[in-house]
Structure 1
Amino acid sequence: MSRIKTSHVGSLPRTQDVVDFIFAREQGKTYDAEAFDRCMSDAVSATVKKQVEAGVDIVSDGETSKISYATYVKDRYTGFSGDSPRNAPQDLQMFPSFLERLASDGGTPTYARPMCTDEVKSKGQGELQKDIANLKAAMALHGAMEGFMNAASPGVISLFLQNDFYASRASYLSALAHAMKDEYETIVASGLNLQLDCPDLALSRHMLFSDLSDREFVKIADMHVEALNFALSEIPAEKVRVHICWGNYEGPHVCDISMDKVFNTLMKTKAHYVLFETSNPRHAHEWTVFRDRKNEIPDDKILIPGVVDTTTNFVEHPELVAQRLERFIDIVGADRVIAGSDCGFGTFAGYGAVDPEIAYAKLKSLREGADLAGERL
């Protein structure tokens, strides 16, 4: 039997206490900073414990302390104020009754997305160091041997916190890459792996660049990767994970650019591990892209396909998980496949389509399916 490792994209459900503290900070309300820190430390410990109990090999802090995977940077870097335009994904605009239903049901997260209005500079790594300390302490306490920490890519920051200061997109990306470089290096220096969340390489096609052709968009995505790779220039690729997705929301997704068209862009990232969606109904078929372009997958890439969905409360049967994994094992071998999730279970604080208990049931099924696949090798 070969053991197939398991992981996930990073964010996990937050408790109500955590959400209340995060939104108190977000809304500029008075709160007890020491109590905030204790709450985050306790919550990360509980989150890691649940991951270990579910059988997850490579754990995260669940992005517990962050308002979201991208906009947290406004709290840790200077240069952001006001509000950015809200661009509903093109597929949701095509179905206005569904978009209205999402908004009225509270399914569309509302949180601050300031513009870049001045030079972007780090405020220091104090908050990051707290996150690192919390995760490492929880790993030591609960016996987790491998951990990773998420960070926003320059491209996804530019997607949600749009530019109103730098002369061009290229110069904004360059500034973000220079600013984020130290954050990335600090995470890796701590002994954790670094995960860059890069929905800008797919989601932004139908969210910000819907007026462009696919070819024109891919040129922009490639520019985003160049900025990212610069920020990773001092970090070994073996310590880096990159996640691409088309938006972690239940919706029609009829405007998603195909994996085939962004495949080369993804493979250009300076990352040993690549995470991508392959469970939801719009992208489950795209495992064939990896099969048909096997010779274009660099030998140093490890695939972490999403073999459980993160927008539905169905718990995937372990046999289905195993079947999905076996497709990729047949392409690159068992030593280059890790079982993952399509996206995060807690992308935005206080929002999530999947019930918290069901999220961990999905991770347990992930472990069971990986074991099934391993037994059959």
Structure 2
Amino acid sequence: MTDHIQTTHVGSLPRSAEVTELIFAHERGEPVDAARFDAVLTEAVDACVARQVACGIDLVSDGEMAKISYATYIKDRITGFDGDSERTPPADLEAFPSFLKRQASSGGTPTYRRPCCVGPIAPKTLAPLDEDLTRFDAAIAAHRPAGSFMNAASPGVIALFQPDRHYGSQDAYLEALAEAMRPEYEAIVAAGHVLQLDSPDLGLGRHMMYKDRSDDDYLVLIARHVEVLNHALRNVPAERVRMHVCWGNYEGPHHCDIEMRTILPVLMTAKPQGLLFETSNPRHQHDWQAFRDLAALIPDDRVLIPGVIDSTTNFVEHPEVVAQRIEQFAAIVGRERVIAGTDCGFSTFAGFGAVDPEIVYAKLATLAEGAARASERLWRAA
């Protein structure tokens, strides 16, 4: 990052109807032709990478094409998960039951199985990851982006959505998850990609899994999440890892979101060198001030990847707004330590996304244009 602000996003991108059909058929346990599945997914990943490059995105992903969601996919890769679990809505939606009901009745809430931990957790197979890597590598070779990353679920977010029915201890559950996921983390980095750990448990967890606890309790609990995550990354260089933190990728009141200012000291103890976080939606546009006021806590090598594009609305941000958001963070840590990102993924669950697929790529294009404007001004001023 010596001559321009690089661009990236959080990971998931819209899947086609055919891809979604195949993923849900597999989820239901229906027979799926392996050759067709691979061919459709290979084509989808290739098209996804091609469009990211065409939009001007520097650091691309495979769009998480083969995953039904960013957390529950792990049941096919590690042991100990089965069945389903009851849904617990976030506290902000519970406060507005009429809106919660409207979301559910309008299809605003995705439906898919969230298995519980019902037995010992251990690595099962890396075959699905190997398939993801093969498709992604082929697309990268064809379209030659500047860089690449691949998503993986953090131990904390797995625990957030898939409750423990076996260990009886949150510490034991998190530790088992971390050890079981470690081979996936290390394999992604060994394959030459930056590893992105999706960790909304550090933000969203406050008004979901720990909504009956105090803020002080919450900070102690998520410090443990970070400690376990750091241990799982013990064989991975910090500069090959980034971590995404958010408060839930949904349109809603979000008035129960814990402040970035409150959790930032804990986030700065995490090993990943890159931090992706929300700053574009109305609830978090002020969060740049937390980074400014607590700048002394930010390690000198930490790279900030603020979301300068919202992921829950069909507004296409003006590139000047994007540029200004980037410049706010460049003024805090320096232009070389800022990458322009998105608030969250655009298709967190297969077949579900608030933003029209074509508008997704229009938003990525304006992200790149805004980063170019910011780059011109930041380097011209140097």
Determine if the TM-score, normalized by the shorter chain, exceeds 0.5. Answer: yes
The answer to whether the 8 A contact 2:72-2:114 is kept is: yes
Indicate yes or no: 2:75 matched with 1:74: yes
Counterpart residue number, 2:149: 148
The residue matched to 1:149 in structure 2 has which SS? Answer: strand
In structure 1, the partner of 2:249 is 248
The reply on whether 1:178 has 2:179 as its aligned counterpart is: yes
For 1:311 and 1:289, how far apart are their aligned partners in 2?
Answer: 23
**Aligned twin of 1:128:** 129
* Cα pair 1:2 1:375 within 8 Å, conserved: no
Deviation, 1:374, is 0.7
CA contact under 8 A between 1:325 and 1:370: conserved in structure 2?
yes
CA contact (8 A) 1:10 1:344 kept: yes
SS at match of 2:339: coil
The aligned counterpart of 1:13 is 14
Say if 2:102 is the partner of 1:98. Answer: no
Tell me by how many angstroms 1:218 deviates: 1.1
Structure 1, residues 170-207: CA drift from partner, whole Å, max 9, x if none?
Answer: 00000001100000000000000100000000101101
CA–CA distance in 1 between the matches of 2:143 and 2:358?
A: 19
Q: What 5-or-longer segments of structure 1 have no aligned partner?
A: none
Cα distance in 1, alignment partners of residues 377 and 107 from structure 2: 44
* Aligned AA (1:353): A
Specify the alignment match of 1:205 in structure 2. 206
Does 1:187 find its partner at 2:204? no
Amino acid at match of 2:245: I
How many angstroms apart in 2 are the aligned matches of 1:337 and 1:85?
Answer: 39
Say whether the 8 Å CA contact 1:188–1:239 is kept in structure 2: yes
Once the two structures are superposed, residues 320-374 of structure 1 have per-residue CA deviations (whole angstroms, 9 ceiling, x without a partner) of 0000000000001110000000000010001000001000100000000000001
Correspondence list, 1:30-41, <5 A: 30-41=31-42
Q: Provide the residue aligned with 1:336 in structure 2.
A: 337
Q: Distance in 1 between matches of 2:374 and 2:54?
A: 20
In the alignment, the residues of structure 2 paired with residue 339 and residue 117 of structure 1 have an alpha-carbon distance, to the nearest angstrom, of 40
Distance in 1 between the 2:69 and 2:83 partners? 18
1:85 positional shift? 2.4
2:279 corresponds to: 278
Q: Which amino acid aligns with 1:52?
A: V
Aligned to 2:148, the other structure's residue is in SS state: strand
TM normalised by structure 1 equals 0.99
What secondary structure, in the 3-state scheme, does the structure 1 residue paired with 2:340 have?
coil
Aligned pairs for 1:347-362 (under 5 A) are 347-362=348-363
Which position in structure 2 is the counterpart of 1:374? 375
C-alpha distance in structure 1 between counterparts of 2:146 and 2:9, whole Å: 15
Preserved CA contact (<8 Å) 2:78 2:181: no
State the secondary structure of the residue aligned to 2:287.
helix
Indicate the residue corresponding to 1:27 in structure 2: 28
The Cα of 1:12 is off from its aligned counterpart by 0.5
Q: Counterpart of 1:247 in structure 2: which amino acid? A: G
Measured after TM superposition, the shift of residue 29 of structure 1 is 1.3
Partner SS state of residue 285, structure 1 = coil
Moved more, 332-341 or 33-42: 33-42
Q: Match for residue 307 of structure 2?
A: 306
8 A contact 1:139–1:145 mirrored in 2? no
Aligned to 1:60: 61
TM-score by length of 2: 0.98
- Deviation per residue, 1:140-198 (Å, 9 max, x gap): 10121310000000000001111010130000000001100000000000000100000
The residue type paired with residue 233 of structure 1 is R
Looking at structure 1, the residues matched to 340 and 253 of structure 2 have their Cα atoms a distance apart, in angstroms, of 25
Structure 1 residue 209, shift from structure 2 partner: 1.1
Take 2:58 and 2:310, find their aligned partners in 1: how far apart are those partners?
19
Cα root mean square deviation, aligned? 0.9
Can you list the C-alpha shifts for 1:1-56, whole angstroms capped at 9, x where unaligned? 94110000000010111000000001111221111011111100000000000000
What is the CA–CA distance in structure 1 between the aligned matches of 2:30 and 2:83, rounded to whole Å?
18
Residue aligned with 2:122, SS: strand
**What is the 5 A alignment of 1:42-53?**
42-53=43-54
Alignment of 1:157 onto 2:158: yes
How far apart, in 2, do the equivalents of 1:26 and 1:297 lie? 41
Q: How many residues of Structure 1 are paired with residues of Structure 2 in the alignment?
A: 377
3-state SS of 1:30 partner: coil
Task: Measure the CA separation in 2 of the matches of 1:55 and 1:73.
Answer: 31
State the alpha-carbon separation in 1 of the partners of residues 3 and 280 from structure 2.
23
Which has the larger displacement, 177-186 or 28-37?
A: 28-37
Residue type matched to 2:274 in 1?
Y
Give per-residue Cα distances to partners, 1:77-118, cap 9 Å, x unaligned: 111112222110000010011001000110101111111000
